[in-house]
Chains A and B, each alone.
Chain A
């Protein structure tokens, strides 16, 4: 491998990619030093313990649900045959297009005491009938779990598909059935990819504000908002964010320690069409029912509710501006997805060709943005860009803003936030390429360029597609960075959702929310179609 790395190029590239996040972190740390001691005393006495426990319960619960749903459904659609499998293999990704905050307000509006479902049940079963309250710890965990299992599903499915038929055959030859095959062979082999998906879910949950506030469930993030909005102390809010980051870093380090030094690569990646295990009779239909229930709860039912609400307000609110909102949303999502992918690939090569600790540390720092509440990150972004603008003015003169309030500022924020989302599948893709393959290719006279174009890119394909899709859909749903850094006239669909929900007008918010979902379906469908085709062609 040394011949691939004659100079320090990879390390430098990795550090460059991490630089924006370092600048943002510096801004956060600098802000946090101004935290008010009196407020800290108050927070540590009355707030911190409770929100820490709440946050831990939420993250553990959501990750557990997301991993359970994502892994089992990926196994069923990748390795088993049951009625409707072909449909579910892509349909089960659709909940990804449904923003968690939208799923949250649909769930609360329909399932809370005054919602349509309990009202109907009370009419049917008598006034005394009481459903377990949706606005509860269980309710918020269920909703966030449903909204985020596709991350795990996508990663797990990729792993199961490319591990190919060999694993399945090995499992069968050892006498394992479909379930014991999953637990004894497939899951252990897919562990890094599952862990990557779980880490994304955990970070997404930590940073969530929209969904938890619909449930009025207090977390670290809501405490950060309260310190900023209510106590008027951005410094204390940044201090809380920093504390949260330290906890996240510790958790990630613990996870890596637990994973140990094991190396995972694919066994004959996708060299043969996988022979699926048939689930006969009742077992096949049980799988069908299971997939149907998840699909219905995560996508169909909320989409139907949204559509009903949207129809009610469309005559009032729907006009040509929605074409602009949609185009702008798609354009921003596409630009951010390409930028994140490019940087993730740079990081991927840097960590592969430079064995030292520097590139890997840089990659970790670059990925931290996903665990910070978006609005805190946005504060970091405007602070950093404000500093650059001020420096620019003092050098070049003029009095306008050079970076702030431009699309560049938006993209800077998106990349800082979502690089981790591209990074996980790209790293997962690199992990699947065995070093021995590279050595073999080299011995056949392939240069670095040939290695990249003829070996890496074809084998990375699925991982790159996954990265693009994840960032694309996440940016479409993103609110706080868009709100705080967008130029004049750059309102997106998510901005419109925010403005309606901020006034408690959930039914009016259904219209832009539904368009977000519809626009998100396109890339999801494209990707799953390609994944299916690749799996069939292999």
Chain B
């Protein structure tokens, strides 16, 4: 008896609360801008709200990984409320374009602000922040003169001294995809195989953990996204790990983007384009990149001083969209090479 009564009371209360919660969500005034973002809350929310205040509209957003957001867009189809899709990887933007989820946008503002290799030639998406994936080394045990290219990390001198993040990480898949584009599958597979043979420890689940292992002496060199090192150096200014720009004599250092596009079924298309243009504008570009220690996509804008201190580098200027196209091949290559 008592159990049933207690349950009944509870259910009643919950129903009331739930109804209130629904009505709270429904009451949006004006035409809101809706953003699906794989760039996480702590990096974007403040800017989103600022844009909303400036324009006098509500900016609504949900975050998730890129792939589930793509699936959500597909399931919602023409009825999707989303206006803008933001990812942290060029591969997801390429995939969304392939799936017909983005629409081409012609904007002289965006085309002037974002270099050609960081945006889709047809305007389906535009890069907004740049992350370089390059070599990190222990300043205690490695001289920069010993370093040169990604491929050289497979040399015998690095036997038992190399650390890598998991081959399941999209950033490593993008790196491998770039090499498949640049030098073909065979040469890339040989290079990856040589890396695996040099590993000092099982691959790590994230770059930060790997950088800490370099600092602690478990290994001497590794490959990381620049911003992870930036954050760690910011927290620990005396960290004995430094960045080296790989492949400067060759094609240049691998870069990937966090970028966005306007969805195919955007209900607020004009606002969505304006929003992307706002994100690409110099003042916002600085902050969009700085919050994550990245490089602004807008070439005229400086990164954080501590990021700038790493010095200039030559990026690989193959269009980042091609990386997405080669990504499945990269994943299979990584499996074959035994990169866990």
Contact = CB atoms under 8 A, between A and B. Distances in A.
Interface stretch (B103-111, B182-190, B208-216, B270-278): B208-216
Nearest to A384: B75
Interface in B55-100: 60-68, 71-72, 75-81, 91, 95, 98
Interface in B119-157: none
A230 B205 contact: no
A46 B43 CA distance: 37
Interface in B242-272: none
B216 A379 contact: no
Nearest to A461: B3
Interface string A382-406: 1101100110010000011100111
Given A216-B166, A226-B168, A500-B42, A390 B67 contact: no
A97 B159 CA distance: 43
A133 interface: yes
Given A505-B208, A506-B208, 9 more contacts: A216-B168, A216-B340, A230-B173, A338-B11, A386-B76, A404-B75, A460-B3, A499-B40, A500-B42
Contacts of A334: 10, 14
Contacts of B11: 338
A502 B11 CA distance: 35
Nearest to B328: A231
B195 to A, nearest CB: 16
A146 B62 CA distance: 33
Contact of B68 (A378, A390, A407): A378
Contacts of B1: 453-454, 457-458
A407 B22 contact: yes
A108 B213 CA distance: 12
Given A386-B77, A407-B21, A488-B61, A112 B335 contact: no
B309 interface: no
A218 B340 contact: yes
A375 interface: yes
B68 A504 contact: no
A113 B218 contact: yes
B209 A112 contact: yes
Contact of B216 (A39, A113, A406, A496): A113
Contacts of A245: none
Contacts of A335: 14, 18
Contact of B336 (A46, A382, A490): A46
B206 A114 contact: no
A470 to B, nearest CB: 16
B10 A458 contact: no
A405 B81 CA distance: 9
Contacts of B328: 39, 230-233
A311 interface: no
A231 B333 CA distance: 11
B71 A382 contact: yes
B75 to A, nearest CB: 4
How many residues of B sit at the interface, in one of the four size bands? 35 or more
B7 A338 contact: yes
B331 interface: yes
Contact of B64 (A338, A453, A484, A508): A484
A222 interface: yes
B68 A114 contact: no
A504 B331 contact: no
B112 interface: no
7 contacts: A216-B202, A231-B332, A334-B14, A341-B7, A393-B79, A461-B3, A488-B61
A390 B205 CA distance: 40
A400 B209 contact: no
Contacts of B215: 114
A135 interface: yes
Given A386-B75, A401-B81, A484-B71, A229 B25 contact: no
Nearest to A104: B205
Interface string A47-74: 1000000000000000000000000000
Nearest to B91: A232
A229 B205 contact: no
Q: Pick the 10 closest A-B CB pairs, nearest first.
A: A386-B75, A114-B216, A504-B206, A230-B331, A114-B212, A382-B75, A499-B40, A504-B208, A113-B218, A488-B60
A109 B216 CA distance: 13
A483 B61 CA distance: 12
B295 to A, nearest CB: 17
Given A386-B76, A404-B75, A222 B22 contact: no
Interface in B271-296: 292
Contact of B14 (A39, A231, A317, A331): A331
Nearest to A335: B14
B51 interface: no
A458 B3 contact: yes
A232 B70 CA distance: 10
Contact of B77 (A390, A407, A458, A500): A390
Interface string A234-248: 100000000000000
A230 B168 contact: yes
Given A407-B22, A488-B62, A500-B42, A480 B68 contact: yes
Q: Which of B22, B40, B202 has the most CB of A within 10 A?
A: B40
A383 B10 CA distance: 31
A393 B25 CA distance: 21
Q: Which of A109, A112, A383, A454 has the most CB of B within 10 A?
A: A112
